[in-house]
Structure 1
């Protein structure tokens, strides 16, 4: 079971199929240098495992002390707030059309 709250970023809870980084390790470029972002395959795996473990309505949010999983979804959605961003599971953010 992946521990999404136990790392600097939730995606670090899973291994990377692209560069073979282990859980907890950052993705690497082909040159061996640290990648500036996680590989898409790793993000996709993290999303799939998070949904499998916590359900499709759950969210993970940064707190003052790390990460917190909310099984009921994003606080802004529940409170009717609209910050202009649709937040998708874990990593993808899409700007709402004006």
Structure 2
């Protein structure tokens, strides 16, 4: 993703396809779902996050927090993916290395 580090957090999440999109028209109120974006990147990130919620303390804690708040497991996983892409984008933008306090 050559755009990583050049866009803001909303734009980068939409580019990857992990931003929630409304399905609303007139009086119809639908559920928010992820769609669009680059599906190959989203697929790789999904598998990486499956591992991260087991091994990385930052994402493990965030995932467990979301599940304790009543979120479905896949919704919590997608939220963690969005958090990861936002952290990576910020790290490249500010030229920082990963540390546990970033999460």
Same fold, TM-score > 0.5, yes or no: no
- Relative to its length, the structure with more helix (as a share) is 2
- Relative to its length, the structure with more strand (as a share) is 1
Query: Which is bigger in relative contact order (C-alpha 8 A, separation at least 6)?
Result: 2
